[in-house]
Structure 1
Amino acid sequence: MPKNQYVSTAVIRRMPRYYRFLGELLERGVTRISSKELAALMNLTASQIRQDLNCFGGFGQQGFGYHVALLHEEIRKILGLDQGFRAILIGVGNLGRAFVNHVDFTGSGFDLVGLFDKNPALIGKKISGLTVQDADEISAFCAAHTVDVAVLCVPSEAAQQTANGLIDCGVTAFWNFTQYDIKVEHPEAVVESVHLADGLMALCYQVNDARRSSSSAEK
Structure 2
Amino acid sequence: MEGKKISMAVIRRMPRYYRYVSELHQNGVARISSGALAAKMGLTASQVRQDFNCFGGFGQQGYGYNVENLRSSIREILKLDNNHTAVLIGAGNLGRALMTNFKFEQSGFRLTAAFDVRPELMGGSVAGVPVLAMEELENYVQRHQPDIAILTLPRQYARDVADKLCSLGIRGIWNFTGVDLHLDGIHVPVENVHFSESLMTLSYRI
Residue identity in the other structure for 1:58? G
Identity value in percent = 48
Contact 1:89-1:115 at 8 Å conserved across structures: yes
Contact 1:33-1:68 at 8 Å conserved across structures: yes
Q: Deviations over 1:4-62 (max 9, x none)?
A: 21111111111011111111111111101111111122221100100000000111001
Question: Highest Rg: 1 or 2?
Answer: 1
Contact 1:160-1:183 at 8 Å conserved across structures: no
How is 1:37-116 mapped onto 2 (pairs within 5 angstroms)? 37-116=36-115
2:30 aligns with 31
How is 1:1-219 mapped onto 2 (pairs within 5 angstroms)? 1=1, 3-184=2-183, 187-207=186-206
1:212 aligns with none
Q: Which runs of 5+ in 2 are unaligned?
A: none
Measured in 2, the distance between the counterparts of 1:198 and 1:123 equals 34
SS in 2 for 1:111: strand
Q: TM-score, normalised by structure 1?
A: 0.91
Measured in 2, the distance between the counterparts of 1:40 and 1:168 equals 45
After TM superposition, give the deviation of residue 128 of structure 1 in Å. 1.1
Contact 1:149-1:173 at 8 Å conserved across structures: yes
Q: TM-score, normalised by structure 2?
A: 0.96
Count of residue correspondences: 206
RMSD: 1.1
After TM superposition, give the deviation of residue 188 of structure 1 in Å. 2.9
Measured in 1, the distance between the counterparts of 2:3 and 2:133 equals 42
The structure-2 alpha-carbon separation of the partners of 1:112 and 1:77, relative to structure 1 and needing over 3 Å to count, comes to same
Q: Which runs of 5+ in 1 are unaligned?
A: 208-219
SS in 1 for 2:174: strand
Measured in 2, the distance between the counterparts of 1:47 and 1:124 equals 53
Q: Which runs of 4+ in 1 moved over 2 A?
A: 183-188
After TM superposition, give the deviation of residue 173 of structure 1 in Å. 0.5
